[in-house]
Amino acid sequence: MPFYSRFLFFLILLVFSNLGTSQSINLKVIGENEVSTATIDSLGYQKSFNNYKNLEIEIQNLKIKLTKRGYIDTSIESITKQNDSLFKAQLITGKRINRIRIYYPSDFNTEYLNLIHQSKDNNYFELRITELETYLKNLNSTIAEQGDPFSTLQLINISKLASDLISADLKIVTNQKRRIDKIIVKGYEKFPKSYLKRFLKLRTGKSFNLNAIKEKIELLNDLRFANKIKDPEVLFTQDSTTLYIYVEKTKTNNFDGFLGFGTNENTNKIEFDGYLDLRLINNLNYGETLNLFYKSDEIDQQTINVDADLPYLFSSPIGLQVGLNIFRKDSTFLTAKQYAKINYQINAQHKIGIGINTTNSTNLLDDDTDILNDYTSNYYTLHYNYTKPQFSDPLFPINFWLDASSGYGNRDNNLGTQKQSVFNIDAYKIFNLNNKNSFYARLNGATLISDDYLDNELFRFGGINSIRGFEENSLVANLYGVLSTEYRYRLSNDIYVHSVLDAAYFENRLTNSKEKLFGFGFGLGLLTNAGLFRLNYSSGKTENRQFKLSDSKIHISLTATF
């Protein structure tokens, strides 16, 4: 056998023989008396090791544990070898110290103590020894949140004041206070600067606070047109602090439409109706919303609505919303409404506004009557909107919606001037029972308060977006309220079925009528690559009329996102 082969064989044999004969060593720790030993045992420690170095490390860790419990005089008396596999260590724990009094410097900001809910007296505060580490960590974190992320705390000049009380001086080592010097958006570089400043409330010059920044970045989840990719990152240099935010732009444009058909009671022929609702969001990278709505129904009514919402004008919390609404009732009348609102975005969920509405209505018939003639009205309006999103759920992206408004003004026509008030509310809430089951409830209503009324100024409601089972805009009222409910069962992440149970009440002072209405049915929703497909089958009845299958309505809609 060659020399190198014999050498290699000998080396392998030596290694394996050492591995075969190696054994663990054990540790037993005692105190200066039985009480001390019991205290050590209650803390727990590792008792078996592969080598002596790890055994020494465990003894040092045990000493640190005892110090944190108040045994600050703990010392390692001895480590003795009992036999080949057992070492005994003796620790002298001494008497336990229960409290510590910490003196802070004269220039110390005592507001830090208020933030960690610690009472103070003169120029010191007291803690239990067991609380010391946690409180110092919280205090250091609080100081760091005020713009000094590299600050450190030290306790110096430690001394005994009594048998169970020690004192120490608090030393704060500060560095240059950090402020955000630059904010860089990665992924979606054209993210609206106004949303960065007003919606996320991030701006240069503010004190650096990473925890607060992370909380603000989470607000991106409340935006339709952007998502957070990952947590923010910070680049510290000697004289600057740069914040990196990672955002992606999402598809938010919506096209919504439906086709409805039913049997006419008088002609027994199938009649069709439908609408389209186009919503363009953030196409100009300003967070703006543009809406175009058109609806034509089977009773020869047409509605056109154009609306623009411009938030955070000139990077201020003020936004502007303007719109035009045109409604035509066959050859009876034509009404055009123009409106403008100034909105103030309180935070991500709350918005208030004031505005003005101007309405011009024209009688298309040959002669005016007491209940149908030309008029002009002007209202000053107040608005409030609350939105709670759940954009992680593509089927039901909004959990809670509330929109309320009121208007005060006058109506002018050839009969004179009439003071009027109008109130509107539209709210819905999804109650998530579990992953499969949820309950949806919506309240929609309005009232017009006036001494007299015209037919062409009354509210028109009914249909898929109101009380289902009735023709679109077939119900006329000066006061109405609709409660729409659905029990929803999710078959999968993309499919759900639901019930339809609606109830409504309305009053019409022109016809001196008051009625209760009900709608029953079922439907389904399907999330496809093209968008959300919905189908509803519903039938309506009045309080004094039974259901008729011939009166049932089938509504089909598709909401596409692009």
**Residue 13 phi, psi (nearest 5):** -60, -40
Number of domains the chain contains: 4
Residues 81 and 113 in one domain: no
pLDDT tens figures, 237-287? 888 899 999 999 998 898 887 666 656 666 676 666 667 889 999 999 999
Radius of gyration of the chain measured on its C-alpha atoms: 37
Domain for residue 461, yes or no?
yes
Tell me which residue range forms the domain holding 110.
99-173
Q: Look at residue 8 and tell me if it is in a domain.
A: no
Pairwise CA distance, residues 548 & 364, whole Å: 35
Query: 3-state class of 521 per DSSP?
Result: strand
Per-chain mean pLDDT for the chain: 86
Per-residue pLDDT band for 19 (boundaries 50, 70, 90) equals very low
Higher-pLDDT residue of 113, 449: 449
Tell whether 405 and 365 lie within a shared domain: yes
Q: Identify the top-confidence range among 51-60, 138-147, 387-396, 418-427.
A: 418-427
348 and 316, same structural domain? yes
Of 37-46, 304-313, 362-371, give the range with the top mean pLDDT: 304-313
Is pLDDT of 14 > 50? no
pLDDT at 301: 85
Confidence of residue 155 (pLDDT cuts 50, 70, 90): confident
- Reported confidence tier of residue 69, pLDDT bands at 50, 70, 90: confident
Average pLDDT, integer, range 102-123: 70
Q: What pLDDT is stored for residue 328 in this prediction? A: 92
| Interatomic CA distance for residues 275 and 301, integer angstroms | 11
Return the residue matching tokens 């120490």.
168
Q: What is the pLDDT of residues 312-354, one digit of tens each?
A: 998 899 999 999 999 998 889 999 999 999 999 998 899 999 9
Question: Are 221 and 339 within one domain?
Answer: no
Q: Are 501 and 454 members of one domain? A: yes
The CA distance from 403 to 384, in Å, is 6
Of the candidates 553, 552, 468, the residue with the CA atom closest to the CA atom of residue 517: 468
Model confidence at 444, pLDDT cuts 50, 70, 90, reads very high
Query: Is residue 441 domain-shared with residue 469, that is, in the same domain?
Result: yes
Residue 375: per-residue pLDDT = 95
Residue type, 483: L
- Residue 149: give its domain's CATH number: 3.10.20.310
pTM, whole model, 2 decimals? 0.73
Q: Cα–Cα distance between 176 and 395 in angstroms, integer?
A: 49
Report yes or no: 147 and 207 within 8 Å, Cβ to Cβ.
yes
Q: How far is it, in rounded angstroms, from Cα 504 to Cα 480?
A: 7
Question: Residue 14 is inside which H or E element, if any?
Answer: helix 3-21
Q: Cα(381)–Cα(341) distance, rounded to whole angstroms? A: 8
DSSP string, 321-344: EEEEEEEEETTTEEEEEEEEEEEE
Pull the structure tokens for residue 229: 């990719």
Find the helix or strand (DSSP H, E) in which 556 lies: strand 553-561
Q: Do 360 and 433 share a domain, yes or no?
A: yes
Q: Is residue 394 pLDDT above 50, yes or no?
A: yes
Whether 278 and 291 have beta carbons less than 8 Å apart is answered as yes
Which residue blocks in 131-284 are alpha helix, DSSP H?
A: 132-145, 193-194, 210-217
289 and 234, same structural domain?
no
- Asked if residue 371 and residue 234 are part of one domain, the reply reads no
End-to-end Cα separation, the chain, in angstroms:
78
Instruction: Compute the average pLDDT of residues 95-123.
Output: 75
27: domain CATH number is 3.10.20
